[in-house]
């Protein structure tokens, strides 16, 4: 079994502190000034559930892939459900036909993003856009998004695109051009519901299908062709 240690992601620290103070103040006022006790009890229960859901969203597990990490290995960048797996033409960066593998994250999934391959970051870019549902196919080219182009040690180019969703309003990308990246590292974070696309060479062997559940940094999703 893979080893996982869970903590709160630093992207959520300020949000959780402010939310705790705000909910605490509102609940204190409710207990002080509402005479009917059942109302502050219900309000406190709802506040506690809501706060725990936000804490759950910002959980940040440290994961170690359980197995040999070979140069041709591709793992899922995120927790979620495979919603697209098809051959397509990537027109923004690669300008060639590739296999697109898309994983959708609900608000209940971990929203940290892992590098899908070991290699070197060649380019990082950001595009402003819309905030339609990340589940829709056209979200890949119309929503706000960030892209990370990685060159593996065997010379393959793998493109990873973080896509904002209907609720998500902030994409955080930690990758920097020229840095050495690993599947054990966080590539970024997307706040509140979103999607990540991985673009792979056409001769890549795919291990998953639409509807499969993935775990970021853990689930093998493909194997690149050896040179």
Q: Which residues are marked as active site?
A: 194
Cβ(194)–Cβ(135) below 8 Å: no
101 C-beta neighbours (distance < 10 Å), count: 27
Query: Residue 107 has which token pair?
Result: 């608000």
Cβ(2)–Cβ(66) below 8 Å: yes
Cβ(2)–Cβ(64) below 8 Å: yes
Q: What is d(CA 69, CA 177) in angstroms, rounded to the nearest whole number?
A: 22
Location of structure tokens 């509140």: 192
Location of structure tokens 């940040």: 60
- Residue 7 DSSP SS3: strand
Pairing of strands 145-152, 205-206: unpaired
Q: What angle do CA 218, 221, 223 make, to 5 degrees?
A: 115
């Amino acid at each position: 079994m893979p080893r996982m240690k869970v903590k709160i992601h630093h992207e959520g620290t300020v949000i959780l502190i402010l939310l705790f103070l705000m909910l605490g103040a509102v609940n204190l006022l409710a207990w002080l000034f509402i005479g009917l006790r059942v109302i502050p009890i219900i309000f406190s229960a709802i506040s506690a559930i809501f706060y725990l859901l936000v804490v759950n969203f910002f959980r940040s597990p440290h994961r170690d892939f359980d197995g040999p990490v070979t140069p041709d290995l591709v793992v899922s960048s995120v927790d979620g459900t495979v919603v697209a797996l098809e051959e397509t033409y990537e027109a923004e960066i690669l300008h060639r036909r590739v296999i697109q593998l898309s994983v959708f994250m609900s608000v209940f999934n971990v929203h940290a993003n892992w590098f899908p391959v070991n290699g070197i970051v060649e380019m990082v870019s950001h595009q402003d856009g819309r905030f339609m549902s990340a589940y829709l196919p056209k979200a890949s080219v119309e929503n706000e998004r960030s892209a990370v182009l990685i060159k593996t040690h065997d010379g393959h180019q793998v493109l990873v695109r973080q896509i904002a969703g209907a609720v998500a309003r902030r994409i955080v990308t930690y990758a920097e051009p020229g840095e050495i990246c690993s599947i054990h590292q966080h590539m970024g974070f997307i706040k509140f519901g979103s999607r990540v696309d991985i673009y792979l060479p056409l001769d890549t062997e795919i291990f998953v299908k639409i509807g499969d559940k993935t775990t970021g940094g853990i689930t093998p999703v493909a194997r690149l062709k050896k040179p």
